[in-house]
Amino acid sequence: MSERTPTNQPRRSRLLYTSAAPDDRSRMRAVANNLILHLHPTKVPAPALKWSYTWGLGGISATLAVVLIVTGVLLMFRYDASAATAYTSIQLIETQVLFGSLIRALHHWSANLLVITAFLHLLRVFYTAGFKDGRSTNWIIGIILFLIVLTFNFTGYLLPWDQLAYWAITVGTSLLSYIPLVGQAISDFLLAGPVVGQGALRNFYALHVAVLPTLLILMMSYHFWKVRKDGGISQPKEEEMEENGRRRPIERLTTIPHLVQVEFAAASVLIAGLLLFAIFVPAPLEELANPSHPPNPAKAAWYFMGLQELLLHMHPLAAMLLTGLVLLALIFLPRLDRDAADIGHYFRSAVGRRAAALGALLSLGLIPMLVVVDEWYLDLPALLPGWPTLLSNGLLPLLFSLFGLFLIYALFRWGGRLRHSEVLVGLFSFIFVSLIILTLIGVFFRGANMALVWPF
Amino acid sequence: MTTNTQPAPLTRRNFLKLGLGALSSLAVLEMGAASLFFMQPRRLEGEFGGVVNAGLVESFPVGSVTEFPDGRFYLVRAADGFLALSNRCTHLGCAVHWQANNQHFFCPCHASSFDQQGDVQNPPAPRALDTFPIEISDGQVFVNTLRAEKRDRYTPEQVTQA
């Protein structure tokens, strides 16, 4: 078109972008850059780009969310949210629909990977004290985002309507009914009835494809916006950057191309890896849900196996209280640890690094031992026959666990004379590693009848 | 701080503000209630729950345990009568199944087991299996699966005389 020369732009394009760019290429770049700079600041501190500081975990999680939305929308075109046809529609996606198996595998594995990357992102922020110095709100938003991701996985789990789905959701919602006073009502509301059925499938579908995505996108936007408002990702305090007694200004790099290139590379590698994995490992699909015969062993989804393992050792109310207390401690962490001097340093200090290692080692030794002792040698309800199980199998193990955590704190704080901030690193290392160990035991070391087995 | 016992004068502006606030709150409440009622638990035709005709009294020998998979219960005939035990484990809702050689109900999810009356033999299950009300008329056993009855442990009055 002759009138579309740079000097003679059509009037309507001026509505979108006013400053005249010399040619098409520059014009497109200007628009793209404008988009990027809505998300990122124009310049970022050079240390923030260091791979070994963030491991790109936030960006990877965001990329996975995009992959999940795209593949999820595609799956919606082919999926029937009805108890009678859901399973068949998944079978059709797997066998008849061109690229159906690949799209479903991409969705499935991305969802599983997102739980891992979001958890690792949380760990990274915890260990680098990224929740300090005015970043407490974003820390809490991050925890809420992690819970949204778990709820996403939980609701998505039911949709294939296979044995795994049916029984994992039965166990999961029964767990809710142990919450005092409101639990049964919440469970009935979620399931739209007393048991998992058509109503539950519809509810979970609506939550999974409408309510949760809206929440996720809102909270993600808030999360990113808050990073900018908090002055970028956490960094060591500027006054520490000294050389020969003179303060050295932190080098600042332009976002384009330095940050954007790294992000683009990470996203490309991630998507290529996901594709390869999804091509070779299709998403699992078990037999059609059978409400009268659970599989043996009937296990929850792997990311809830830590909780399920806890359930084997204590009353559901106690297990939920323990999990809830840990979650509360995480939420209130910015209140518990207000020493902002060590922000941006992994494990707070060299001492903190040793505390983290010691906490992890303690857990590695203690947790498997406790599991084995409780499984084979200790039967509290039988030892205390007159006691209600809520006390013998609930309150006692709960108090024991909390006392154990307090002992670890005391050991580090007064035995090792560590700073409060460093002790918390050790204590939470213990909790995080315990969660991972319980999950591994649940996934690999539990066989038929949920008995302990050797997997190899 | 000085205590201000004088209420703010109800000017036209204040009146409108108050009215707007009240009406908006009312609208939010209405929409919330409507949404809750819209999503309330529903019972679908043909789904689980209702009166099941289990069959003739004579067809269940004393000591027998009969599974009704569609009704999600087991009909137990003890020496003195019938018990309809829900097949939902009281721990986390998995379906228990009767193991005749061990003479107990077993839950594969967390290895709870229950004896023939539904009493807990092996935790983590916190209480005995739920029961469903039984009515016997014209020599036939009717089990009402609409409402499960919770109980801590087995007592003889839970049995319906044959």
Which ipTM value was assigned to this complex? Answer: 0.78
A204 to chain B, any CB pair closer than 8 A? The answer is no
| Structural Rg of chain A based on CA atoms | 26
Tell which wins on pLDDT, A242 or B11: B11
* Among candidates B49, B107, B110 on the partner chain, residue whose Cβ is nearest the Cβ of A311: B110
Please tell me the distance in Å from B112's CA to the nearest CA on chain A: 9
Degrees to nearest 5, angle at CA A347 with A344 and A353? 145
Locate the chain B residue with the closest alpha carbon to A380.
B123
- State the Cα–Cα distance between residues B106 and B29, nearest whole angstrom: 47
What is the per-residue pLDDT across A396-433, written as a single tens digit (0 to 9) for each? 889 999 999 999 999 999 988 889 999 999 999 999 99
Contacts of A10 (CB under 8 A, 6+ apart): A3, A4
Q: Which residues of B touch A392 (CB under 8 A)?
A: none
Mean local confidence (pLDDT), B16-37: 93
Give the per-residue pLDDT at A241. Answer: 57
The top-scoring range by mean pLDDT among A43-47, A95-99, B69-73 is A95-99
Q: Is the separation of the CB atoms in A344 and A428 below 8 Å? A: no
Helix (H) or strand (E) holding A428: helix A420-444
Q: Which residues of A touch B148 (CB under 8 A)?
A: 194
B 55-114 residues with CB below 8 A of A?
Answer: 67, 69, 72, 87-88, 91-95, 97, 106-111
Cβ atoms within 10 Å, residue A202:
17
Of A161, A167, A162, A158, the C-alpha closest to A206 is: A158
Mean pLDDT of chain A: 87
What is the per-residue pLDDT across A317-328, written as a single tens digit (0 to 9) for each? 898 899 999 999
Tell which wins on pLDDT, B147 or A93: A93
Give the per-residue pLDDT at B87. Answer: 86
Cβ atoms within 10 Å, residue B77:
21
Of A74, A137, A143, A141, the C-alpha closest to A110 is: A74
Q: Which residues of B touch A446 (CB under 8 A)?
A: none
Mean local confidence (pLDDT), B128-149: 83
Q: Which residues of B touch A390 (CB under 8 A)?
A: 126
Cβ atoms within 10 Å, residue B153:
11
pTM of the full structure: 0.86
Q: Left (φ > 0), alpha (ψ -120 to 50) or beta: where does B86 sit?
A: beta
A-B contacts (CB, under 8 Å): 95
Mean local confidence (pLDDT), A160-174: 89
* Among candidates A170, A198, A203 on the partner chain, residue whose Cβ is nearest the Cβ of B93: A170
Tell which wins on pLDDT, A254 or A144: A144
- State the Cα–Cα distance between residues A237 and A222, nearest whole angstrom: 25
Give the per-residue pLDDT at A243. Answer: 58
Residue A252 pairs with which residues in a beta bridge? A45
Please tell me the distance in Å from A406's CA to the nearest CA on chain B: 27
| Residue A446 phi, psi dihedral angles, 5° rounding | -115, 120
Residues in chain A: 456
- How far apart, in Å, are the Cα atoms of A227 and each of A87, A157, A247, A261, A333? 42, 32, 26, 19, 18
Mean pLDDT of chain B: 82
Of A173, A179, A144, the C-alpha closest to A158 is: A173
Best to test chain B binding among A184, A450, A453 (most B CBs inside 10 Å): A450
**pLDDT grade for B5, boundaries at 50, 70 and 90:** low
A165 to chain B, any CB pair closer than 8 A? The answer is no
DSSP secondary structure, A5-72, as one string: STTS--HHHHHH--SPPSSHHHHHHHHHHHHHHHHS-SEEEGGGG-HHHHTTHHHHHHHHHHHHHHHH
| β-pair type (B65-68, B73-78) | antiparallel
Of A340, A299, A329, the C-alpha closest to A130 is: A340
CB contact under 8 A, A174 and B87: no
Distance of CA B106 to the CA centre of its chain: 20
Query: Which three-class secondary structure state does DSSP give residue B86?
Result: strand
What is the per-residue pLDDT across A320-376, written as a single tens digit (0 to 9) for each? 899 999 999 999 999 998 888 888 888 988 889 999 999 999 999 999 999 999 888
Start-to-end Cα distance in chain A:
70
Q: Which two tokens stand for residue A300?
A: 């929850």
What is the per-residue pLDDT across A171-217, written as a single tens digit (0 to 9) for each? 888 888 888 888 888 888 888 877 888 889 999 999 999 999 999 99
Is residue A3 predicted with pLDDT exceeding 50? no
What is the per-residue pLDDT across B79-129, written as a single tens digit (0 to 9) for each? 788 888 888 888 888 888 888 888 888 888 778 888 888 888 877 788 888
CB contact under 8 A, B124 and A449: no
Locate the chain A residue with the closest alpha carbon to B47.
A197
Query: Percentage of chain B surpassing pLDDT 70?
Result: 91
CB contact under 8 A, A311 and B108: no
- State the Cα–Cα distance between residues A385 and A66, nearest whole angstrom: 54
Q: Which residues of B touch A300 (CB under 8 A)?
A: none
* Among candidates B72, B106, B124 on the partner chain, residue whose Cβ is nearest the Cβ of A311: B124
Give the per-residue pLDDT at A2. Answer: 44
- How far apart, in Å, are the Cα atoms of B147 and each of A24, A287, A310, B134? 71, 30, 31, 11
Q: Which two tokens stand for residue A265?
A: 């590379």
Query: Which three-class secondary structure state does DSSP give residue B160?
Result: strand
**pLDDT grade for A10, boundaries at 50, 70 and 90:** low
**pLDDT grade for A246, boundaries at 50, 70 and 90:** low
Give the per-residue pLDDT at A4. Answer: 47
CB contact under 8 A, A171 and B92: yes
CB contact under 8 A, B93 and A174: yes
Query: Percentage of chain A surpassing pLDDT 70?
Result: 93
- How far apart, in Å, are the Cα atoms of A61 and each of A105, A122, A152, A226, A267? 17, 11, 14, 17, 10
Q: Which residues of A touch B42 (CB under 8 A)?
A: 192-193, 199
Helix, strand, coil percentages, rounded to 5, for chain A: 70, 5, 25
CB contact under 8 A, A192 and B42: yes
Cβ atoms within 10 Å, residue A375:
15
Q: Which residues of B touch A389 (CB under 8 A)?
A: 123-124, 126
- How far apart, in Å, are the Cα atoms of B100 and each of A281, A434, B67, B117, B127? 40, 39, 12, 14, 22
Give the per-residue pLDDT at A13. Answer: 59
A44 to chain B, any CB pair closer than 8 A? The answer is no
Is residue A47 predicted with pLDDT exceeding 90? no
Of A444, A445, A433, A435, the C-alpha closest to A362 is: A433
* Among candidates A171, A197, A296 on the partner chain, residue whose Cβ is nearest the Cβ of B48: A197
Helix, strand, coil percentages, rounded to 5, for chain B: 20, 30, 50
What is the per-residue pLDDT across A249-296, written as a single tens digit (0 to 9) for each? 778 888 888 888 999 999 999 999 999 999 999 999 988 888 878 887
Q: Which two tokens stand for residue A123?
A: 């760990």
Give the per-residue pLDDT at B112. Answer: 84
Query: Which three-class secondary structure state does DSSP give residue A154?
Result: helix
Residue spans of alpha helices (H) in A79-192: 86-95, 100-127, 136-158, 163-176, 183-191
Q: Is the separation of the CB atoms in B57 and B48 below 8 Å? A: no
